[in-house]
Amino acid sequence: MQIRARKSNIANNYTTSKNNVTFDLPHSLFNTYQLRLAIITFFLSFITQGQAQQLSFSKTHVEQGYSFKYQWLDHNKVGQAISFTLNQEGLFDRFRNFKTYQNSYAQKTIIRRIKREMQRNPIAGIQIFYRQQHDGFLIEVNGLDSDKVAKSYQTLARVESEVTQKYLQDNYYQAFTNHEQVNGIKVDHVSIANNSVADLKSLKPLILDHVSIQNIRKVTNYVLSFVQSIPYSTLESRITSSGAGFNPPLQVLWENQGDCDSKMTLTAALLRALMPRIDMTLIYIDGHAFIGIDIPGQANEVTIEHNDVKYLLAEPTGPALLPLGTLAPESELAINQGQYIAQDYHEVLSNEISKQ
């Protein structure tokens, strides 16, 4: 008796379709279908909130790497300045292999690795066939022993899961489900932030010259105003970009621009360098991303509770100068309606992404 397998989960999990899309970070502040309302909200928010203002930016090649100089106005319209040096390894080599996620290439690589693993550990009495289809790969198992065929499917499912996870991890991506239960692939911001911390530690004593580590609010607001003052770059839709346009933290500093997901990741990495043990969470809503920090909130400040931790929320994107605990109206609306996903960024990292 011959038994044939059904379609591989690779196609089901990682291809673009009506209900299952490959997508990346939020690259636009508003969705197209919300454009009219968003424009009105955006305009009104800037009537009441000041805009971040970067007064000057420069970078100069030095022996150790590159020297960066920034001047900007903070939330209180007070001039701030910081100068630091970043080495070339962190700037150009740390994420050299980070590339736009390409579904077809990923599937080919994953299926090749599955074949290699099954060749190293063959199962006697069965034959495995790998067939490419327009929307993925079909893996079939033929054999006369139905029990052996069933066990082969179990083995293939385990190998596929392990190989896929390893591929995504090595390339700084992860599986993601948004608040509408749409599945896809996005950049692993936690991993990228965590791997950027060492390169940003040189900023710690410089920032602490301005604010005390004993005052978490002052530290956080200093970082927020600095990142908010970096020019905002509107990039492609996260639904179709597959990682195109995302900049790791040091690349944001190098280019002196970034979108919401890039600036969120830079903020998380800077705060982790400054406060290694503080709990944080990364917040995703439609078309936007921001951050939560384990700091007690005050009256009228926006918070969420996630995995038994209460987080005070913050908007790193700019150009609105929003201090800790204050969100843009559309972000606060999404939080109030529960239309968000939160990802833990703790000292002990977790890859789990879960809803509120």
> Both tokens of residue 175?
């599986």
> Both tokens of residue 129?
């066939």
User: Do 309 and 294 form a contact (C-beta atoms < 8 A)?
Assistant: yes
User: Do 238 and 26 form a contact (C-beta atoms < 8 A)?
Assistant: yes
Tokens 């109030």, residue? 336
What sections of the chain are H helices per DSSP? Answer: 9-14, 35-48, 88, 103-120, 146-170, 189-194, 197-200, 204-208, 216-229, 238-241, 249-255, 260-274, 329-336
Q: How do the residues of the chain divide into helix, strand and coil, expressed in percent and rounded to 5?
A: 40, 25, 35
List C-alpha distances in Å: 120 to 9, 110, 116.
22, 15, 6
Angle at which helix 260-274 crosses helix 216-229, to 10 degrees, equals 150
Domain 54-100+181-345 has CATH 3.40.50: no
Q: Which residues contact 58 (CB under 8 A, 6 or more apart)?
A: 68, 69
Q: Which of 307, 301, 297 is nearest to 327 (CA)?
A: 301
Q: State the Cα–Cα distance between residues 340 and 330, nearest whole angstrom.
A: 12
Question: pLDDT tens digits, residue range 96-114?
Answer: 989 999 988 999 999 999 9
Question: pLDDT tens digits, residue range 42-65?
Answer: 333 443 457 768 999 999 999 989
Query: pTM of the predicted model, to two decimals?
Result: 0.81
What does each of the 356 residues of the chain score in pLDDT, given as a tens digit? 333 444 344 434 433 333 333 333 333 333 333 433 333 333 334 434 577 689 999 999 999 899 999 999 999 999 999 999 999 999 999 999 899 999 889 999 999 999 999 999 999 999 999 987 776 788 999 999 999 999 999 999 999 999 999 999 999 999 999 999 999 999 999 999 999 999 999 999 999 988 866 689 999 999 999 999 999 987 554 444 455 679 999 999 999 999 999 999 999 999 999 999 999 999 999 999 999 999 999 999 999 999 999 999 999 998 899 999 999 999 999 999 999 999 999 975 444 444 44
Q: Which pLDDT score, from 0 to 100, does residue 132 have?
A: 79
User: Do 245 and 178 form a contact (C-beta atoms < 8 A)?
Assistant: no
Instruction: Report the b/e string of 58-92 with b at 16+ CB within 10 A.
Output: ebeeeeebbebebbbbbbeeeebebebebeeebbe
Q: Which pLDDT score, from 0 to 100, does residue 302 have?
A: 97
- Spatial strand order in the sheet of 79-87: 53-62, 65-73, 79-87
Q: Which pLDDT score, from 0 to 100, does residue 45 have?
A: 41
What does the H/E/C string look like for 233-274? CCCCCHHHHCCCCCCCHHHHHHHCCECHHHHHHHHHHHHHHH
Q: Which pLDDT score, from 0 to 100, does residue 28 have?
A: 34
Q: Compute φ and ψ for 303, nearest 5 degrees.
A: -135, 165
